[in-house]
Structure 1
Amino acid sequence: MTSLPTAANVAAAATRLAGHVRRTPVLRAEVDGRPLVLKLEHLQRSGSFKLRGALNALLAGEPPERVVTASGGNHGLGVATAAGILGVPAVVYVPSGVPESKAGRIEATGAKLIRHGDTYADAAAAARAEPGRYVHAYDDPVVVAGQGTVTAEVVEECPDVDAVVVAAGGGGLAAGTALAAGDRTVVTVEPTGCRAVHAALEAGAPVDVEIDSVAASALGATRIGDLPFAVLRARDAVPVLVADAEIVSAQERLWEEFRLRVEPAAAAPFAAWLAGRVPGDLPCLVLCGANS
């Protein structure tokens, strides 16, 4: 396996990405008498944190002549946006069930969109046959380091935060969070129907899982990446599951309380916090995307 990225790699990514990505705001708040911090990463360019990892991957070496990826939607949009910034042609494979809103936004960047198969794994297998620099959605050290810059910003602005809570699909954001969180608790939240990270930490190794959730377009990895798994296991990340009904309710509450419109995956950390499953006196919940 590729050597694991470190906190130093996250710091290098932050320097590399400066001026290319938005430093998204944090919001200190109180809900139901309890304090929390919200990281408004859904306001990132391309509508999610995925731009950070994609752009870091393309900036870490010589720009490729062509970039290829597979995605449930957000990563593809991040790669397509990053490629557009650098003037590199991009090809994005997506499962046939990708939301049309995400597919349309990918095509609007000028990238070539190819629908293939029923799952992310199907799309990824086809994408790997394409020539060009393949940017994995989560099992790539430079992608993981780029995603870690979300938490690096949180730690810098809110050093009193004692836990960082993220939605977990294939584990890229969660692993990056673990690298940048210092001694803070790292909490990974998944729907009960998309539990790749939870199942792997429970089994002691990555395992295949079935996918069935309202958040599947963003959290629909059927298996956690080997690299994210190694990082999260070493860091003793805390896995938490939430039901789809809790996610939908959390989405509605974010709108009612703060007028924040996020996609189902982004509401998963808030759902876990509302249900009392998040440790810490002042957790930061990362609202990771708004591409419903």
Structure 2
Amino acid sequence: MDVNGSSKMCIEAEGGKDSYCLEIFSVEVESVKQDVMHLERLHNSLQESNEDIKKAENSGMMRDIRGRLKTDLDDLFKLAKQINKKYEGLVRANAAQRGSADDQVRASMISDIIEALQLIMHRFQSLRSQMETDHRQIIDAKFYAITGEKAMAEAIDSLIASEAARAPLHREVEHGKDSVAEAVAEIEERRDAMREIRRNLMALHQVLLGIATPVTADALGGGNRAAAAGGDEAAPSGGGKGGGTGTGSLNDYEKETRKQAYIAIVIALVIIIVLVLSILRVDNQFENTATA
């Protein structure tokens, strides 16, 4: 059943409307929860791929892993957009049914979804960080195996970011060793894989960010975020445009701006006091001179 049509069906239903609406709403909530479970399975699959990446011994193995990664990452992004669409439908349905006896129940269901998405977002962020750390360690080990020297941080950065992984290993590449050429090809495959992972996981974060924003059940049931969902003011307060948390507190930028303003005021007062004291001192000196 389409989430966007659930509120219409509730309005058209006669007798026992509240319980009927809640039943439809519950089905749609369960559908979103199933999608979140699918996100968790994809997370586990990426974890397994990361273990395979660490064990890969040549560029051919890395290409095979990248093929699996591409499928998982494509599915991940499509699923995130699907969850976002379903969630928006739930929020609209909740707003359309405001004032019924089931307000708190629906608010609790939506809060459960938010909590589940917050958890999975943190897991994906941790996975991305771990994969990048593992990638750096592997490149460091590869560099040492090829050159017999400990890589400088700049060389590792270049191998990770450069389009030409051969540059930091130019001396070995010039010798024309097949093993070195294969190692460079493997490094390039690893680098491209990590770029795809980083880009897709950051895109996933942006898609889910508007949902997994801290918000209280009271706000959902009382009209802050969910009530606004029926019109132009429905944008989640912590959506992808960098909004606040919806709790009414100052964000970091506002706090820093206010702090800087206070500091500027204090400095200005100190300067004024110093100037006044200096003027008074000069006046006293003139008066003493004139008296003498």
TM-score, normalization by structure 1:
0.26
Greater per-residue strand proportion: 1
Greater per-residue helix proportion: 2
